[in-house]
Amino acid sequence: MDLTPRNGDSVSLVAFDREHINQLLTSLAEVDTLVGQPVPKTRMGGGAVGIEVAPERLVEVARVLRDSLGFEMLTCVSGVDFVDHIQSVYHFRSLASNWLLQVRVRLSADQPEVDSLIGLYPSANWLEREQYDMVGIIYKGHPDLRRILLDDDFQGFPMRRNFRATPITLHDRATTQVDAERAISGEQQRNQERIVSKHLGQGDEERIHPGKPTFGSAAVYLETGQGLLPGDMQGDVETEHGYEVNTDNPTPTRKS
């Protein structure tokens, strides 16, 4: 994805001294000599400067940033999923010179791996763990890379673009209305259909059992007296909360 602003450079809210930013850009020549070629540098809003380095040079660059340029703080680590690639973005602060630097590392989408900065900045410990948790970036050399905010047995990485908050398919669950063995075998689908139609076929006065999941279709039946005959509403599928619900079958069906 191309993120270059279309309408020229975006305006900075804070009118930072241009000299001040130029000074940082000049100092970054040290990074250029280390890498061997000029790294791409951009001016960002709010008086920040962004550079991009190759993942295998990140630790060397960070060492230069800390020891020579005086960036004492690693403030923020963010992972961004751009579908075709994944970025790990670091924000460094220098208090002495009042600089804010953004370092961007481009990783492959299949195997997002980059060296950990924990040896240089202790604050990288939890910051990197959080991005592993959310985006799934592997920080090589991290001593304790496990989930931090989510459960240990959580599946998937929520901040990826292809992550679905609700599962597309439902697993069969045991209900109180059929015995557990049949419920998990998927056999209750047909069985339940029969129970519902029989139960509701006895007249409008009869109240639905309070424990029965209705998903609205029984209410329709009670109002109109129509529908819910076996086979009558075969193709009628409505979506509720992302699950496909067959209206003559109160249980959400598994999507094949």
Partner 1 sequence: MTLQTNQGDPDAASALYTEDATGLRSEEMILNMGPQHPSTHGVLRLVLTLDGETVMQCTPVMGYLHRGMEKTFENRPYMAGPRYIDNADYLSPMINEVCYAGAVEQIMGVEPPPRAQYIRVIVQELERIASHLVAVGTYGLDLGAFTPVLWAFRDREVILDLFEALSGHRFTHNYMRVGGVLYDLPKGWIQQCEQWATRFVDKNLPELEGLLTGNEIFVSRTRGVGYIDPQQALAYALTGPMTRASGVNFDVRVQRPYGAYREIAVRPQLQTGGDCFARYRVRMDEMVESVRLIREALDKLPSGPISNRSPIALRPPRGETYYSVETGRGEESIYMISDGSEYPYRAKLRAPSFVNLQILPELLRGNKIGDVIAILGSIDIVLGDVDR
Among 24, 31, 86, 127, binds partner 1 (CB under 8 A): 127
CA distances to 30, 61, 104, 192, 215 from 36, rounded to whole Å, are 10, 12, 17, 70, 65
Which of 37, 155, 165, 168 contacts partner 1 by CB under 8 A?
165
Number of helices (H), then strands (E), belonging to the chain: the values are 7, 9
**For the packed helices 188-200 and 217-224, what is the interaxial angle rounded to 10 degrees?**
30
CA-wise closest residue to 90 among 119, 131, 56: 131
Encoded one letter per residue, x for contact with partner 1 by CB under 8 A and - for no contact, window 38-57 reads ------xxxxx-x-------
The one segment of 33-41, 78-86, 192-200, 226-234 that binds partner 1 by CB under 8 A: 78-86
| Rounded Cα gap, residues 105 and 234, in angstroms | 52
Q: Supply the minimum distance, in Å, between the C-beta of residue 32 and partner 1.
A: 23
Tell whether residue 89 is a contact of partner 1 (CB under 8 A).
Answer: yes
Q: Does 150 bind partner 1 (CB under 8 A)?
A: yes
- Is residue 31 part of the contact set for partner 1 (CB under 8 A)? no
Does 6 participate in binding partner 1 (rule CB under 8 A)? yes
Residue closer to partner 1 by CB (options 127, 178) is 127
Residue number with CB closer to partner 1 (141 or 186): 141
Binding letters toward partner 1, positions 192-231, x by CB under 8 A: ----------------------------------------
SS3 breakdown of the chain: % helix, strand, coil, rounded to 5? 25, 20, 50
- Which lies closer to partner 1 via its Cβ, residue 112 or residue 250? 112
User: CA 137 to CA 55: how far, in whole Å?
Assistant: 12
State the CB neighbour count (10 A cutoff) for residue 54: 13
Task: Give the separation between CA 50 and CA 100, rounded to whole angstroms.
Answer: 9
Of 182, 205, 197, nearest in space to 250 by CA: 197
> Cα angle vertex 215, ends 239, 243, to 5°?
30
Number of residues written out for the chain: 256
Count interface residues toward partner 1 (CB under 8 A): 52
Considering the rule CB under 8 A, would residue 240 count as an interface residue with partner 1?
no
Among the listed residues 25, 149, 219, 229, the single contact to partner 1 using CB under 8 A: 149
CB-side neighbour CA atoms (13 Å) of 224: 10
Of the candidate residues 5, 36, 231, 235, the single one contacting partner 1 (CB under 8 A): 5
**Which region, judged by CB under 8 A, interacts with partner 1, from 108-116, 120-128, 181-189, 234-242?**
120-128
The binding site for partner 1 (CB under 8 A) comprises 1-7, 10-14, 44-48, 50, 72-76, 78, 80-81, 89, 91, 93, 95, 98, 100, 102, 121-123, 125-127, 130, 134, 143-144, 147-151, 158-159, 163, 165
